[in-house]
Amino acid sequence: MRLNTLRHMALLIGLLGAGQSLAESAPPARAEAIFAGGCFWCLEKDFDQLDGVLSTTSGYIGGHLPNPTYEQVSAGNSGHIEAVRVEYDPQRLDYPKLLAYFWPNIDPLNADGQFCDTGSQYRSAIFYANDEEQRLAEASRETLQRSARFTQPIATEILPASTFYPAEDYHQDYATRNPLRYHFYRQRCGRDARLAELWGSRPGR
């Protein structure tokens, strides 16, 4: 009886250990990535439509002022770039797929802004959090550059992630909370017309 009990305990401990190893090797429930592609209202809306994205946050990254305001960033005085932090489920969506989705939603040829918004605060960029993300982002950009799609150089930067500051509350989920103003801005800015010119016909956003 005692021997059977010891064997049962050993088996249970072994199963628990195996379960712990599996849990440690399993992907996390949430991960995040940061992208810049002009107006963060638009890029946020685009990523919200991607299956596997859990949430998006508009914000500022890459500057020298702590806690920048929209006025400081939009004036180009803080060094920040308008960007979107994307939280996603790694079991449904991996980083290479995020990269593949990002490119057709920006103008990668514009080094001084995006669409109707000009200035360094609106330029396109991928912000990497580790060596693997940097490697994947650079490989993705190189693949696009080597493709026959564009003859001009790809201007999108690949930069190390720094402190991300969420934008003011009225900027969050702007397209959902202000659909008429959002669609007017997007159309007036010529975003979808330029994207169709670069990447082919696409549905309206």
Percent of the chain surpassing pLDDT 70: 85
Q: Cα separation of 139 and 100, whole Å?
A: 11
Q: Choosing from 39, 42, 116, 189, which is the catalytic residue? A: 39
Once rounded to an integer, what is the mean pLDDT over residues 74-96? 96
pLDDT at 94: 97
pLDDT at 24: 53
CATH of domain 26-199: 3.30.1060.10
pLDDT at 13: 36
pLDDT tens per residue, range 69-78:
999 999 998 9
pLDDT tens per residue, range 1-26:
444 443 443 443 343 344 444 445 66
Q: Cα separation of 187 and 9, whole Å?
A: 67
Average pLDDT, the chain: 89
Once rounded to an integer, what is the mean pLDDT over residues 36-50? 98
CB-based contacts of 57, cutoff 8 Å, min separation 6? 44, 84, 85, 87, 164, 166, 167, 172
- At residue 192 the predicted structure's pLDDT band, cuts being 50, 70 and 90, is very high
Give the DSSP H or E segment for 110: none
pLDDT at 201: 72
Query: Look-up: residue for tokens 């920048």?
Result: 68
Query: Look-up: residue for tokens 């912000």?
Result: 127
CA 77 to chain centre: 24
DSSP code per residue over 136-178 = HHHHHHHHHHHSSS-SSPP--EEEE---EEEPPGGGTTHHHHS
DSSP label at 86?
Answer: E
pLDDT tens per residue, range 128-174:
999 999 999 999 999 999 998 999 999 999 999 999 999 999 999 99
Residue 205 has pLDDT above 60, yes or no: no
pLDDT at 79: 96
Domain ranges for the chain: 26-199
pLDDT at 6: 38
pLDDT at 20: 46
For residue 121, the SS3 value is helix
User: Is 39 an active-site residue?
Assistant: yes
Q: What is the pTM of this model?
A: 0.85
Query: Look-up: residue for tokens 């809306």?
Result: 45
Once rounded to an integer, what is the mean pLDDT over residues 88-95? 97
Cα-based angle 118, 124, 167 (whole degrees, multiple of 5): 80
Give the DSSP H or E segment for 84: strand 81-88
Tokens at 135, concatenated? 């490697």
Once rounded to an integer, what is the mean pLDDT over residues 115-124? 97
CB-based contacts of 33, cutoff 8 Å, min separation 6? 85, 86, 88, 95, 98, 127, 129, 133
